Amino acid sequence: MDVAAENGGTENGGKIADMDIMRVMQMIPHRYPMLMIDRVVDIVLNETAVGIKNVSINEPFFAGHFPTRPVMPGVLIIEAMAQTAAVLVVSTLGSDAEGKLVYFMTIDEARFRKPVTPGDQLHIHVAKQRHRGNVWKFKGEAKVNGVLVAEAIYSAMILDEK
């Protein structure tokens, strides 16, 4: 069976249907409070995807970062990029990859341009740069209202826990 058909069918050119939070949780093992994406849209297998994170004042990290001026930690924005990329990897590889762990190997050229605060909606754009064996490299950009707030190049390894 072709990977795209296995993952809900293609619209055209390897593009698959958007994924809601329930499908995201089938694809990757992250759960509250470390699940950093709410939806994945604009998925083009083996190429790109866009994760959506609705940033709420109810996020647990805002209690301490910072109580008088809540700002989403940059490392969690990078984590949202990695989770979006993980959904893209699992979508590309098919159902056999569902639930496997994806570990960071490198994070390079990380830049944080503007604070992300409660009420913002992050659009996390990821693009595959390279894939060899079980190692994948991506460029990620996080935007709020079309404005770049963070970016990074990172690589990760997908592993079977067994």
Q: Which of 65, 123, 125, 131 is catalytic?
A: 65
Q: What is the mean pLDDT of residues 150-158?
A: 96
Where are any strands of DSSP class E within the chain?
Answer: 15-16, 39-44, 48-54, 101-112, 121-132, 135-144, 147-159
Q: Lowest-confidence range among 4-8, 40-44, 120-124, 151-155?
A: 4-8
Calculate the alpha carbon distances from 63 to 36, 58, 68, 90 in Å: 17, 9, 9, 33
Annotated catalytic, 30?
Answer: no
State the Cα angle at 129 between 124 and 130, rounded to 5°.
130
Q: pLDDT tens digits, residue range 106-146?
A: 999 999 999 999 999 999 999 999 999 999 999 999 999 99
What whole-number percentage of the chain has pLDDT above 90?
A: 82
Q: pLDDT tens digits, residue range 43-94?
A: 999 999 999 999 999 999 999 999 999 999 999 999 999 999 999 999 999 9
Domains of the chain: 3-159 (3.10.129.10)
The pLDDT, as a whole number, for residue 160 is 73
DSSP 8-state secondary structure symbol assigned to residue 5: H
Check whether 4 has a pLDDT greater than 80. no
User: Which residues are bridge partners to 144 per DSSP?
Assistant: 122, 147
51 close to 84: Cβ distance less than 8 angstroms: yes
The pLDDT, as a whole number, for residue 127 is 98
The pLDDT, as a whole number, for residue 161 is 66
Q: How confident is the model at residue 1 (pLDDT cuts 50, 70, 90)?
A: very low
Give residue 36's Cα distance to chain centre: 8
Query: Token digits for 151?
Result: 């970016």
